[in-house]
Amino acid sequence: MRVGEATGCAVKRGGFVFLCDPKWGAKEMAQFEEFGKMAGAMECPESGWLCLPTGGTGGALRFARHDERTLSVAVAGFCEYFGIARVNAVDVLPAHHASGFMSRVRCAATGGAHVPWSWKEIGKGNYPGMEKTPDGWVVSLVPTQLQRLLVAGERALFWLHQFRIIFIGGGPVWSQLMSDAALARLPVVFSYGMTETGAMVTAQRPGDFARGDRSSGHVMPHTRVMIVDPETGGGAEGGRTACGRAAGGGTAGGGMPCGGTGVVRISAGSLFRGYFPDTREGDFFETEDLAYWDERGGLNIVGRRDAVIITGGKKVMPVEVMEVLRTSGVFADLAVVGVADAEWGRKVVVCYPGRAGSRPDMRRVESVLHSLAKYKWPKAYVAVAEWPRNEQGKLNRAALVAAAESALASAAPM
């Protein structure tokens, strides 16, 4: 696939092409070298030869195996859903990032224009020009990028208003950011997807956000998305439920009723072939994401199953605590993690960027906590000097847990 080779971060090993992050450290590069040795000893595969990186920031590096068939299905579903014949995109995400790579693929597959642009240039106030075209222009941003642009001034807002669609994905979107985007009347479209699915599998329709929809949208036509009981796995067949059929043409459903939280399970022609060097088995891919369907058939992500904090035998969703804490206005950024504790099993800890040992305004913090059940209240607040969020908005949660453990071990918690 020439678009893969043209990214500037593609490495060919035997019959496989790997996309790599040039900013990987020694640990990730050592892992990649081992994968490369395996690839060189394997026969040239008929499918799954394109390996896209997933993970690596908080644990072992993995590569999701794709090929021209999985990516073509993703592009076709995207174009059908949004009614776009030729995709023209400004790209501020790197080629090794799933959204950045798929932006390039969509443009190449449809004969559209692709304008790569450095996020650092955006930060300097330098915005790319876009010629007028019948299909318009799109851009993909992660929530933190949108937040920074909303406070960057009139030139940034003028630039954002030039787009037909501003896709927002790659992480949870907090209420204040939604309100600010709505106030600015931006053509925002929330979406949900991942490297394993060839990027987005659900998305809002253009205009849904302006009409008050705050979900991750409806199921796209190339996809089947189900929400299943995390304990029993019930509802694997999906289909029509109280939430009905998804507006996009795909299928929404599963064993959980509307409003019932369960695990997201996906079936699609755009699904990856497996994690290198293995081949995926079965028709479905079960994610670690917890979600529910709303009455309009929109997918609402509430957090990750592996991020749930069990404290004193009760479950705490970090996203819920973060949402409340943001309303205090104290934190420019934050994350809620679980740290091992002899009394509680795990305790809820808030990490935020700041000088080590600094303390937040607890009066303002505690004024908003009363909306949460007492067991959900954080037991400690830890300032982290080197905030581990990359340019694409991804947080290294493992690094935050390590920082919290170290800080709490050397000082009494607040």
- Regarding whether 190 and 60 lie in a shared domain, the answer is no
pLDDT digits (tens, 9 = 90+) for 58-100: 467 899 999 999 999 999 999 999 999 999 999 998 888 888 9
Asked which of 281, 304, 327 is the last residue of a domain, the reply is 304
CATH of the domain at 401: 3.30.300.30
pTM to 2 decimal places? 0.82
CA nearest 230: which of 171, 332, 169, 302? 302
Domain that holds residue 43: 2-64
CATH of the domain at 242: 3.40.50.12780
Asked which of 249, 280, 304 is the last residue of a domain, the reply is 304
CB–CB of 253/236 below 8 Å? no
Rounded distance between C-alpha atoms, residue 303 and residue 397, angstroms: 13
Greater pLDDT, 285 or 394? 285
For the chain, the C-alpha Rg in angstroms (whole number) is 21
- Regarding whether 378 and 250 lie in a shared domain, the answer is no
Instruction: State the DSSP code for 45.
Output: P
Q: Is the pLDDT of residue 139 over 70?
A: yes
The CA-atom distances, in angstroms, between 102 and each of 63, 89, 95, 198, 213 are 15, 10, 8, 7, 25
- Regarding whether 129 and 262 lie in a shared domain, the answer is yes
pLDDT digits (tens, 9 = 90+) for 249-274: 665 555 566 778 899 999 999 999 99
- Regarding whether 270 and 351 lie in a shared domain, the answer is no
For residue 57, name the pLDDT band (cuts at 50, 70, 90). Answer: very low
- Regarding whether 127 and 59 lie in a shared domain, the answer is no
Of all residues in the chain, the percent with pLDDT exceeding 70 is: 89
Q: Is the pLDDT of residue 51 over 70?
A: yes
Lowest-pLDDT range of 6-20, 41-55, 109-123, 190-204: 6-20
Asked which of 269, 304, 339 is the last residue of a domain, the reply is 304
- Regarding whether 201 and 331 lie in a shared domain, the answer is no
pLDDT of residue 234: 58
* pLDDT (average), residues 372-399: 85
- Regarding whether 316 and 282 lie in a shared domain, the answer is no
* pLDDT (average), residues 26-35: 89
- Regarding whether 78 and 118 lie in a shared domain, the answer is yes
Q: Is the pLDDT of residue 236 over 50?
A: no
pLDDT digits (tens, 9 = 90+) for 322-379: 999 999 999 989 999 999 888 888 999 999 999 887 889 999 999 999 999 999 999 9
For residue 18, name the pLDDT band (cuts at 50, 70, 90). Answer: very high
Alpha helices in 42-91 (DSSP H): 68-82
* pLDDT (average), residues 278-290: 91
- Regarding whether 380 and 287 lie in a shared domain, the answer is no
Q: Is the pLDDT of residue 56 over 60?
A: no
- Regarding whether 159 and 120 lie in a shared domain, the answer is yes
For residue 238, name the pLDDT band (cuts at 50, 70, 90). Answer: very low
pLDDT of residue 6: 58
pLDDT of residue 24: 83
**Number of domains making up the chain:** 3
- Regarding whether 73 and 157 lie in a shared domain, the answer is yes
For residue 244, name the pLDDT band (cuts at 50, 70, 90). Answer: very low
Compute the mean pLDDT over every residue in the chain, rounded to the nearest whole number. Answer: 87
- Regarding whether 96 and 29 lie in a shared domain, the answer is no
